[in-house]
Structure 1
Amino acid sequence: MLVDSHAHLDSDSFTAELPEILNRAGEAGVGAILAIGIGEGPAEMHQALDICRRYNAADSKLPRLYASAGIYPHSTTEADDAAFAKLDVLLAEPEVIACGEIGLDYYHQGAPHDVQKRAFIQQMEIAARRNRPILIHCRPNDGDDQCWEDTLALLAEHWRVTGSDGESVGGILHCFSGEWSYAERAMELGFMISFAGHLTYPKSLVLQEVAAKVPLDRILVETDAPYLAPVPYRGQRNEPAYVAQTARFLADLRGISLEELASVTTKNFERLFRLPPGM
């Protein structure tokens, strides 16, 4: 069984055919999907949870859905007290197993960096109180690593969190695109490293080197659907079924079978989110 650890199921591009998309994911061996609850801003954070409840109740043959909730870096200008209160309420729901995606984005002309940082810290504090792992978005500007430095510094200062069982709460560096030193520092802070479809692109040589080195017990796979479709679907709309392509590429890179890679990444997902085997 494979897990797609990051998919935007509430995307408008999926609305008309979400049952068919989920069915194709199941046929591709995807047993669970983490639906990301950021929407187009805080007013839509709940949509991923709504989708989980609708389809988990509808058909047990479909992949099991889980949800996250968070305020995306671009939307942090909308992060008022009401938005943070809504996030806190959502993180109390049993299906909402993570806070995110949250973090910093210095690539796009979005919210000012100081606004992003304040919202990032406040969301980490809310997630810590709710004992929820965090899903990290880090998008540096081309040729400038300051976003990585700021992200890792804030995590080091604000996210050394342990749960009631004494274990690290941790989180995921989602859609990882950095060099080895950043992956290594993130893992020292208790984070998993998740690889998306761009791992399969011919020019992603540095990323492929990182993916070959990350310990197996720290690896996850994702689609980030509807974005970043892997080869051979590059340029098309991505969907959860395509996580199998990324997993197969990563398994070949590691010199292991797809079955072993699927088993390892599923166990990692279960361990991070404290889910029972087989979920």
Structure 2
Amino acid sequence: MESRRGQEGSGAEIVLIETHCHLNDRAFADDRGAVIGRALAAGVEKFVEIACAAPEWEPARSLCAAWPGKFACAYGLHPEYVKDYRPEQLPELEKFLADPTAAALGEIGLDYWWEPERAEEQRAMLEAQLPLSVKYGKPVVFHARNGKEPGQDAYAALFARLKSSWSYFPPGRRHRGVLHCFSGSYDDARSAVGLGLAIGVNGSYTYPRNSDLRETVKKIGLGSVVLETDCPYLPPQSSRGKRNDPSFIPEIALAVGDGLGMSAAAVAEKTSGTAAELFGLQG
């Protein structure tokens, strides 16, 4: 994709942070380095690689080592993999959270879309991981997805558990986590922000039927937004059906700017500042 550097007419360089990517996915097995190089050329300066299953932790750490100063990692256990969860995985997870590459715990949370019958198991796994955020002083990347039936409200259940079971309050920081790939209501977004969470916005923002998300971003304000791709999933509308990758972050910034009546450069500056503070990526 063409770089968005300087396209605002001011000569300003757009510098972006990709807060949620899965570049160790097999979709990138043949051209991972080229994908990263293309994103860097497009103005994406830093990446948060999400390693949310035990087999992903070591490859993520290796990715950070291969690209020093560009990558940080989130390590955790995704609710989708609850059937594979064993309590003895937690000590191993702790080793990665103590590693210098660790910027966050995650992604963790609740997903009622595919297997709502495992809701209680997911909640138990979530509550087993939350104390690690406090122990290691890490923000959390949260995942929430409602079920297909009325009453299968993953957002409400997640918020209830955060209120009762999460005591990570980093001094001097506005946000203590991010609700990635946000797909909830405005009320959900307001609750998330009230709990100290930023909202992760990705290519789904550009989908024609996603006017509710665009309105939600407008209402909560750019100060509580970070940009992500969730690649290789959820490419922007211009590339629906294709593999997503971090080089699309500038396109997402441009779309958010269009929705808010501001430049992509202004969106980049604000969202990247929030991301840098949240994940400790300054400098």
Partner letter of residue 167 of structure 2?
A: R
Partner letter of residue 16 of structure 1?
A: D
Partner of 1:245 in structure 2?
Answer: 251
Take 1:233 and 1:115, find their aligned partners in 2: how far apart are those partners?
36
Partner SS for 1:46 = helix
The 5 A counterparts of 1:1-279 are 1-38=15-52, 41-56=53-68, 64-109=70-115, 112-142=118-148, 144=150, 146-163=153-170, 165=171, 167=173, 170-276=176-282, 279=283
4+ residue runs over 4 A deviation: 166-169
Take 2:221 and 2:137, find their aligned partners in 1: how far apart are those partners?
25
Partner of 2:6 in structure 1?
Answer: none
Two-structure CA RMSD over aligned residues (Å): 1.6
Pick which of 244-253 and 43-52 moved more.
Answer: 43-52
* Offset, 1:222: 0.4
Q: Is the 8 A contact 1:43 1:83 kept in 2?
A: no
Take 2:132 and 2:160, find their aligned partners in 1: how far apart are those partners?
18
Take 2:269 and 2:281, find their aligned partners in 1: how far apart are those partners?
14
Distance 1:190 1:103, change over 3 A: same
Q: Is the 8 A contact 1:132 1:169 kept in 2?
A: no
Unaligned runs of 5+ in 1: none
TM superposition score normalised by structure 1 = 0.91
Q: Is the 8 A contact 1:76 1:111 kept in 2?
A: no
Take 2:271 and 2:173, find their aligned partners in 1: how far apart are those partners?
19
Per-residue CA shift, 1:25-47, capped at 9, x if unaligned? 01111111110012xx3233222
* Offset, 1:152: 1.0
* Offset, 1:270: 1.3
Per-residue CA shift, 1:2-22, capped at 9, x if unaligned? 111100011001011111000
Percent identical residues: 29
Distance 1:35 1:110, change over 3 A: farther
Take 1:108 and 1:128, find their aligned partners in 2: how far apart are those partners?
30
Unaligned runs of 5+ in 2: 1-14
Partner letter of residue 127 of structure 1?
A: S
Q: Is the 8 A contact 2:20 2:48 kept in 1?
A: yes
Pick which of 240-249 and 75-84 moved more.
Answer: 75-84
Take 1:85 and 1:54, find their aligned partners in 2: how far apart are those partners?
25
Distance 1:143 1:254, change over 3 A: farther
Per-residue CA shift, 1:164-202, capped at 9, x if unaligned? x46566100000011110000011110001101111000
Partner letter of residue 25 of structure 1?
A: A
* Offset, 1:215: 2.2
Q: Is the 8 A contact 2:24 2:60 kept in 1?
A: yes
Q: Is the 8 A contact 1:71 1:101 kept in 2?
A: yes
TM superposition score normalised by structure 2 = 0.90
Q: Is the 8 A contact 1:3 1:266 kept in 2?
A: yes
Partner letter of residue 156 of structure 1?
A: K
Give the length in aligned residue pairs.
268
